[in-house]
Amino acid sequence: MGENNLEKAKLTIRKLIDLKELSDAKALAIDYVRINQEDPDGYLLLGEILALQQKYSEASEILEKGVIRDFKNSYIHNGLGVVYRQLGDYISSLIHFYQAKRYSNDLELTEFAEENINEVSKFLSNEEKTNIIQALENIRKVLFIQDIPCIRTKKVAKVLASKGIQTDLLYLSAHPSQLYRDYDIPYKNIYRIGDLHKTVEFINKSDYDVLYSSNEPDYLTVLFLSTNKPVVHDTHDMMSLRGKLSNEQIVLEYIANTMASGNIYTHELVRDIALNRFPIEGKPILVIENYVEKSMIPQQRKQKLSVNDGEIHCVYEGGLASVPGHHRFLEEYFLKIARERVHIHIYGNVDQNYIRSLIKKSEYIHYEGTLAPNDLLSELTKYDIGLAIFNVNDTNRAFLDSASPNKVFDYLAAGLPIGFSNLTSFKLFNDRYKVGKILDFKKPLLPQLRKILEIKIPEDFLVKNKLTFNDQACKILNFLKDVKHKYKSSTTR
């Protein structure tokens, strides 16, 4: 679409909005965004239409996509400030009005933002207001570092980018476009690690506020501790909990956890293990579980397969192993469930030869392949129960007891009650939220599964309980602010 045609299309949408012909304006705006995904103006127009239709949650999601594409766009920030004020999320409203004021060259918009900063601040404590403003002043640009950029790293980056923070990526083995099927990549600049000396020199001369390095492996955190920037170490999996490490791996894990300026862990149990294992008391530490993004929660639910055949349909999301003793070797468990005439539907990357042999063992075991994250969550809604099970033994129990698997939050996003393995982290979670039952595979399974079926998960469960990545934005910003402050204090002594 040529430049003139783009402007004509936007002008047409604007005229329809002014005429209050919102349905026609919305249809054109959706088409515009679909065709011109990198133009922030399309998101601004569509977000305005949704807000006028009082669809504030949808408007916030659309406008944040616009901010990710242009984090200095004061008009989009202003729109988000208004939308979040309507939603009663006064911290997010303050963030976006503050960013609107910062980046505005429009006197009228600046004055409007200032007025609203004062208004929404009335709903916050002085401490809340001070912390978030200090965070926005100190954290403007973050470099994410990972060998192969994963979904969790992308989610953290997206949360920050949606609040007007520039997020860049430094990777080693795989560009994110090779990994993600959608266009939803939150990084403004993407670099590949090449010459190490030049990479370190580039970082030292940069204006990044914080480096955010994810483990598995730990060596990139250790490498970039040599720069003049504070480093956050996000432990996705503590390697030493999985099994025996080489001497080199043990040393790298120790240095990464001990010397990083701030540490993030996926569960309170992992944090507690780290506190006992490493001398890390006194520095910023944050726990962020493997939540879903709010925008990934399915808005439409599919008809249950059980409506057609009257049988129970369980779903398992994740990898499988063919080696007995591995924590993902689940053949014995699946067959026990299948013998109860209960279906198991499997989604995930698995060895094709193995899965073919497994599904031949029971007509109740089905392999459904792999799907993009958003498509997967939509598909999950047609099942009855989500399975969060592992092959637990003495070798892997310490690792699994502290796990925070993505699948738990995916099942809840899809409205599924959960059948859990008997693990400490699962028991703690279920004791608090009552979303499933611990399965005892030594007892008849059908009565247990029927009990789980009685549990109803509301569609707004994750949002209501603040169990999405979006709900962690303020915590992450304040944590990064504290990391930077602690680092500067230690280097100026």
What CATH number did the domain enclosing 47 receive? 1.25.40.10
Backbone conformation region of residue 439, classed left if phi is above 0, alpha if psi is from -120 to 50, else beta: beta
- Indicate the SS3 state at residue 410: helix
- H or E stretch at 91: helix 90-103
- Residue in the structure block whose two tokens are 């515009």: 32
Q: Whose CA is closest to 236, among 251, 221, 255?
A: 221
The DSSP code for 238 is -
Task: Give the pLDDT of residue 216.
Answer: 76
In a domain, 131, yes or no: no
Long-range contacts of 39-42 (CB under 8 A, 24+ apart): 39/6, 39/69, 40/66, 40/67, 40/69, 40/70, 40/73, 40/76, 41/10, 42/10, 42/66
- 493 residues of the chain, pLDDT tens digit each: 567 788 999 999 999 999 999 999 999 999 999 999 999 999 999 999 999 999 999 999 999 999 999 999 999 999 999 999 999 999 999 999 999 999 999 999 999 999 999 999 999 999 999 999 999 999 999 999 999 999 899 999 999 999 999 999 999 998 888 877 655 789 999 999 999 999 999 999 999 999 999 987 899 999 999 999 999 999 998 888 877 788 999 999 999 999 999 999 999 999 999 999 999 999 999 999 999 999 999 999 999 999 999 999 999 999 999 999 999 999 999 999 999 999 999 999 899 999 999 999 999 999 999 998 889 999 999 999 999 999 999 888 988 998 888 999 999 999 999 999 999 999 999 999 999 999 999 999 999 999 999 999 999 999 999 999 999 999 999 999 999 999 998 876 5
If asked whether residues 171 and 222 sit together in one domain, one would say yes
If asked whether residues 147 and 42 sit together in one domain, one would say no
In a domain, 133, yes or no: no
If asked whether residues 391 and 356 sit together in one domain, one would say yes
If asked whether residues 352 and 329 sit together in one domain, one would say yes
Which phi and psi angles does 171 have, rounded to 5°? -125, 170
Tell me the pTM. 0.92
Give CA–CA dist 389/429, Å, rounded: 14
Backbone conformation region of residue 364, classed left if phi is above 0, alpha if psi is from -120 to 50, else beta: alpha
- Residue in the structure block whose two tokens are 């009855």: 384
If asked whether residues 106 and 187 sit together in one domain, one would say no
If asked whether residues 460 and 476 sit together in one domain, one would say no
In a domain, 175, yes or no: yes
Domain range for 249 is 139-290+469-491
If asked whether residues 171 and 278 sit together in one domain, one would say yes
Q: Are 236 and 144 in contact (CB under 8 A)?
A: no
Give CA–CA dist 204/192, Å, rounded: 16
Q: What is the CATH number of the domain that holds 298?
A: 3.40.50.2000
The token pair that represents 188 in the structure block: 């403004």
If asked whether residues 318 and 339 sit together in one domain, one would say yes
If asked whether residues 175 and 103 sit together in one domain, one would say no
If asked whether residues 278 and 167 sit together in one domain, one would say yes
Q: Are 212 and 143 in contact (CB under 8 A)?
A: yes
The DSSP code for 292 is B
Q: In angstroms, what CA-CA distances link 190 with 170, 187, 342?
A: 6, 7, 46
Last residue of a domain, one of 66, 100, 124: 124
The sign one gets for the Cα dihedral 154, 160, 164, 170 is negative
In a domain, 134, yes or no: no
If asked whether residues 482 and 446 sit together in one domain, one would say no
In a domain, 316, yes or no: yes
Q: In angstroms, what CA-CA distances link 170 with 212, 214, 260, 352?
A: 10, 11, 18, 33
- Total H helices, total E strands in the chain: 24, 13
In a domain, 132, yes or no: no
The DSSP code for 468 is B
In a domain, 129, yes or no: no
Count of domains forming the chain: 3
In a domain, 119, yes or no: yes
If asked whether residues 433 and 301 sit together in one domain, one would say yes
